Structure formats: structure tokens, C-alpha cells
Amino acid sequence: MAFTTFIFVETWFVPAEGFLIDRFGPARITLAGGLLVALSWGLDSVATSLGAFYVAAAVGGVGGGIVYGAMVGQALKWFPDKRGLAAGLTAGGYGAGAALTIVPMAEMIKHSGFQHTFLVFGLVQGGALALIGLLLRAPRPGEMTLVSTSKQVLQSARDFTPTQMLRQPLFYVMYLTMLCVAAGGLMASAQLAPIAKDFKVDEVPVSLLAFTLPALQWALVMDRVLNGLARPTFGWISDRIGRENTMLLAFSLEALSIFMMIKFAANPLLFVLLSGLLFFAYGEIFSLFPSLSADTWGKKFATTNYGFLYTAKGTAALLVPLGNVLKESTGSWTPVFEIAIALNLIAALLAFFVIKPMRGKREGLAAYEGTPRYAEGIAQG
């Protein structure tokens, strides 16, 4: 419930946070986000009830959402010619950064307790975010005029306000596509520990890269690293072959990795490797969807507009507990995996066969609207 609370609040508040960032700039809002993150971890360090942990998760969700929204939004605005790579590198830090803390946190908890660990990590994160936030600013009007040079990447010359975007059917197709991918990925990430325990591989030692760790701990490290690496990798690919083409590739790979997990999760080494592949294929949504959003709706309101699309992750978080319910009612994780496979395949088909032609038609109309022929047609009624 704490995990779901954090994800839900982190995502559903991003549109409002994005509006504040677009309106007042990223520096002051990021400073506030850093303070909320520190407060959240501080509350965790003194919590003595489940309710207190839920409150801390909600506060942390607001702070984390501010930081994520501000960083990705600025990447979309500063690097319009390489949006996929820029958003991927930025979101990669958000994902891979967790990998750097898993082992240190586990060791500090072991020797000093979780209360001390929460307090120390909260103060370090909050302080770093506050200092970095002071260095941020959005590009001034006309400062960034570059566009993608790839013919596969369609970019709108028009800036849609959030209200205008929400009136477009294309937005809701994009939302459904992100929802399908996020639901499968969040189910896997939230249930990784129970899955490992049910397959009896969680405590089995696995040797990789000259290190020996329990399979579950190795999986958590691999997942964070590969999840973070996926974001700039697929973002870079999408800058060259197009967002929708990359989505077809990535979402299909995600479906394949989940299918392989069903078959081989009982093998400790394969559990680690396949969970890493699963998260590698899942991590790209945090580079592809931000760049797709800015390409489609423009950069002036990029933070707010992507914030609305990002709420698909919050909606998907509500489906995470259903994975436990389904597993308990069937006695197997296989139905959960099968649903995740189906959702990823649906998302792949939507991206390539629905979003791609809809965007092509809309951008073609936008180009036509700027021609003398269109102006003549308007004049003639």
C-alpha cells in the first residue's frame, strides 16, 4: 500500500506541479521538491504506525513527482533536436540512481537500523536536490530553435495548451498505450520479492561479475541498472528510427521477456537475468513517452502536457494490488504474467498501427495549414 500510495501521488500531482514549473520556472519548485523529499524520509525515520508510513509515502510522492517532472520537462525544452536521448539520460538518472543506494542502504540498515538510515539518506537527498535546483532555468523564448533531423521523427511546430491537448482523441490513445505498458511493468517491479520467494530463489546465491549475492538482491541491482540504461538507449534509438517504431520494438521485447520469465523463473541465474531484461524493456517508457508528448504537443507547455500523460503510471499503480489478488485466487503467477504480456502486445500494436498514422495525418494537416493554398481556402470559405 505504501508503494502504491507513493506511485499514485507521485504521478497524479505532476500535471499541477508541471503547471507551476512552466509558470514560475524549475529552480524554486525543485527546491520545494527537495525539501518534501527530505521531510518524507524524515517522517519514515520516526514512524511508528502504518498510517505514518502512508503519510510519508504521500509526501515523498509529491516531492519525487516535482523532481521528475522538472528534470524531464527541462530536458524536453533544452534539447528539442535530441529529445529521446535527453529525456532518456535524465530519466535514466531517476532509475539507475536507485541502484547506487541498494547495497549501502542494506548495510546501513543492518548496522544502524532503518530509522537512522532513513534520516541520513533523506537529509543527503534533500540537500542535494535543493542545491541543484538553484542552478536550473528554462530556455528563454527563441533560445532553443533546433528540431530533429530524422525524417522518422515528426515534431509539431505548434504549442498546444493542456486544455487544447485534452480535446484531442490522439492524447487518449497515447494515454491508453502508456497505461498498458506501465501496468505490466509496475506489477513486475512491485511483486518481484514475492515472486522470488514463491519460486524459492530469493535467498539462493548467484555469482555474476565476480560478486556473489542472493538472487533477489542481484535482481534488484540488475533491474535498477538496466532500467536506467534502457532510457537513454531506447531514447537514442527513437531519435533515429522514430518514437512509434521504437515502441513496437521495445514493447514486443517486454512481452517476450515476461514470457521467458514464466518458463525459467525457477532457475536463480535466469531469474536474475530475465528480470533484468524485463526491466530493460520496461524502462524505455520514461524516454519514449516524454519525447513523443513534446513532439506532438510542442515544447512551451511540455512539462504540464507530459504531466497529464504521466498520470497513466498512477492509474496503472491502482492495478498493482490486483496482481496479488489474482495470484491468491489462482495459486499461480502465470495469469499475472499472461495479462502483462497481452497488455504489452496491445501497446505495441497501438503505437505502430494507431498512434503513428494519427500523428502523421495531424502533422500533415499542420503543415498544410501554413501554406498559401490553405489561407486561400479559408478566405473562400
Q: Could you tell me the domains of the chain?
A: 2-139+147-379 (1.20.1250.20)
Distance CA 174, CA 179 (A): 9
379 — pLDDT class (breaks 50, 70, 90): low
Residues 6+ away with beta carbon under 8 Å from 96? 224, 225, 227, 228, 229
Mean model confidence pLDDT for the chain:
88
pTM of the predicted protein model: 0.84
Query: What is the average per-residue pLDDT within 279-294?
Result: 92
Between 374 and 246, the higher pLDDT residue: 246
The DSSP bridge partners found for residue 208 are 211
Segment (H or E) for 211: strand 211-214
Asked if the model's pLDDT at residue 374 lies above 50, the reply is: no
Distance CA 92, CA 36 (A): 22
- Give alpha helix (H) positions in the chain: 2-12, 14-24, 26-46, 50-78, 83-112, 114-133, 162-166, 169-190, 192-198, 215-241, 243-264, 268-282, 285-297, 302-317, 320-330, 334-350, 356-369, 372-379
Encoded amino acid at 15, one letter: P
Q: Is 380 helix (H, G, I), strand (E, B) or coil?
A: coil
pLDDT at position 36, please? 96
pLDDT at position 371, please? 44
Chain centre to alpha carbon of residue 102: 19
Distance CA 170, CA 360 (A): 11
